[in-house]
Structure 1
């Protein structure tokens, strides 16, 4: 039997997702890995211990983490979790590294090789490992479902003998993965959808989903995209022009979904209190960036509040609200990355620090922080 992989039960009581599925357990055992799943790890995602066992895993306890060569998690291990890891262990998780340097230092001190799955580069080879995309897709979908639930009216146009119900007007701010899925979901529900983004490439994507594109399309807009395909921060002048256009448009909307994030930076403020005040009573706004400071002024992390008659939804971990689906996708992301490190002959896991995916995602290795974005220098050679 090869190296041991441990699937942890999340220590955060508000995290129902799990880092493996029966399918990925089956695939890992086929590679020669010994898989231990902590008892109850899949309960929040409707995966029983028996289902993991049937796929080839052993059901273990928290103490089994000490035996593991590889630990798979949804979120970064807590200080208590870190103490249960053996030196040299590989940990794959969403590490939320920005602004959490003390946690990275603790991982380095423990001697583990920690990978931040959310730093996976957006290149063709890594598409199937991109946890941000898989989870943002579900967040965009769930944002519209939550909005529809709070809206109190029907979404599609309905022509009945008693009269006509007008279609809800939905405006999506940010047309990345989450935004595009929000557009598609709102369209499926029959809403009249519009969207905005600072990236020129988004205009065609928005139109392809049958939504109307709203933006100030000046020279700065035409140049506004980073080499990695992410949005970049716009000038104050552009922001003012865009805010004026958006304020006018927003006043006519029933539902607004905001999805704007800039990696490593606080979320940009897109909707002010004045804009909310201009919306119709009974309107709904969903802030998908609330964990990073929020796009909507007054949005509160983990809460739904009513501001000037507008319901502002700031729910955390939207993918976790559909954990059964989110876990299946996340588990496949982790497995696909882990598979690149497995020696097919011996079933042992070896980290090649020169691999481009490893360089992009490795935070700690051999007792040090190695990621350049967090003060480290990526080391050379293979282990």
Structure 2
């Protein structure tokens, strides 16, 4: 089986789907690896790094022509699909629930496609979960970006000229990104508070030394598979009331609340921003899906009412070397899971395969069944 590593073309993307160290492990498992020219250059991986471990570096068209499995991080775009045919098996984050037109286009090509963002949140799939591995880095980087953009330092500091009080950080959403943000902000010496619709995250928050702002979620849908559900308008109202005091005192706010396949919930309104501290910073990690802050704009910094609002995915592109290694490890484990003696098993009754296989031989699958 030949695995093709494609260069990411999405604006601002610096990662590569499989790093040389992971490509080496695939080759040791008996797979052939073909890498698009300069695919890893923005992650500090040279063509020669791939060639040293036995991979072949080729131009884009050759990779599509020779590889059976094509791997990316971001969804396949129109230019990619021009080169896709019914012999190809595509693997990337397809975000299929919010991109039905892409799934239809892949099906029309007669191809097969796995969506990495559809990985079930079960224990045996943890080492294949790209959303978790990348969100972990995003949570860390959000705090570092916030520290850079703030006009204050994080820790308590006692000097001859007086005492500097610690900064206050508020985090919305205690998933993978939120937990890493809490841990990073605490390590830097900030006073940290966090809130989440999932009350089961209270213990995790407190174990990291942060205060959990509790909001009664009676009547809300329970989270399934580790993913948050969309909150009701009543819950959002009650959350605002409970969190407002902390929000208005915060020097840095990080929002991470995303619901798969849906627009991000608005957690911070313009009216709330008007009451925040002058000079406060908001890092909105949900900006790609509309944003948790009413005034967020993707990949832009907006200053409104004295508050700096940065809408970003921060996606780990800013730490692309580590991010590429982690994503690649997820892909290695996923490919090993799907294959036996370097051939696909196609076990459609198995949960991981069933959930991630979105298109099979040009047929769109829904709810685990072929239509």
Smaller-chain TM-score bracket: over 0.9
Which of 266, 270, 273 is residue 273 of structure 1 equivalent to? Answer: 270
Q: What is the aligned partner in structure 1 of residue 288 from structure 2?
A: 291
Structure 2 alignment gaps of length 5 or more: none
Which of 220, 232, 248 is residue 245 of structure 2 equivalent to? Answer: 248
Q: 2-side partners of 1:113 and 1:95: how far apart?
A: 12
- SS in structure 1 opposite 2:177? helix
Q: What is the aligned partner in structure 1 of residue 208 from structure 2?
A: 209
- Residue 32 of structure 1 deviates from its aligned partner by 1.3
Deviations 1:49-81 (A, max 9, x none): 111111220111111212111111111111121
Q: 1-side partners of 2:355 and 2:306: how far apart?
A: 45
Q: What is the aligned partner in structure 2 of residue 301 from structure 1?
A: 298
Which of 340, 348, 354 is residue 349 of structure 2 equivalent to? Answer: 354
Deviations 1:271-296 (A, max 9, x none): 01111111111110011111111100
Structure-2-length-normalised TM-score:
0.96
Deviations 1:133-161 (A, max 9, x none): 00111111111111111002111111111
Q: What is the aligned partner in structure 1 of residue 358 from structure 2?
A: 363
Q: 2-side partners of 1:68 and 1:210: how far apart?
A: 49
**More deviation in 91-100 or 139-148?**
91-100
**1:258 equivalent in alignment to 2:250:** no
**Native 8 Å contact 2:248 2:275 kept in 1:** yes
Q: 1-side partners of 2:345 and 2:222: how far apart?
A: 36
**More deviation in 235-244 or 136-145?**
235-244
- Residue 350 of structure 1 deviates from its aligned partner by 4.1
Deviations 1:309-345 (A, max 9, x none): 000011244311111111110011111001122332x
**Structure-to-structure mapping, 1:8-47, within 5 angstroms:** 8-47=6-45
Q: 1-side partners of 2:231 and 2:358: how far apart?
A: 29
Q: 1-side partners of 2:131 and 2:22: how far apart?
A: 19
- Residue 237 of structure 1 deviates from its aligned partner by 2.5
Q: What is the aligned partner in structure 1 of residue 4 from structure 2?
A: 6
Q: What is the aligned partner in structure 1 of residue 135 from structure 2?
A: 136
**Native 8 Å contact 1:26 1:56 kept in 2:** yes
Deviations 1:156-195 (A, max 9, x none): 1111111111100000011011100110010011100000
- SS in structure 1 opposite 2:178? helix
Q: 1-side partners of 2:128 and 2:10: how far apart?
A: 23
- SS in structure 1 opposite 2:369? coil
Q: How many residues align?
A: 370
The two structures, once aligned, show a CA RMSD in angstroms of 1.5
Q: What is the aligned partner in structure 2 of residue 239 from structure 1?
A: 236
**1:153 equivalent in alignment to 2:152:** yes
- Residue 196 of structure 1 deviates from its aligned partner by 0.4
- SS in structure 2 opposite 1:92? strand
- Residue 224 of structure 1 deviates from its aligned partner by 5.3
**Native 8 Å contact 1:198 1:231 kept in 2:** yes
- SS in structure 2 opposite 1:17? coil
Q: What is the aligned partner in structure 2 of residue 328 from structure 1?
A: 325
- CA distance 1:268–1:150, change in 2 (3 Å): same
Q: 1-side partners of 2:41 and 2:78: how far apart?
A: 23
**More deviation in 227-236 or 173-182?**
227-236
- SS in structure 1 opposite 2:203? helix
Which of 308, 312, 317 is residue 315 of structure 1 equivalent to? Answer: 312
**1:227 equivalent in alignment to 2:224:** yes
**1:61 equivalent in alignment to 2:59:** yes
Q: What is the aligned partner in structure 2 of residue 182 from structure 1?
A: 181
- SS in structure 1 opposite 2:206? helix
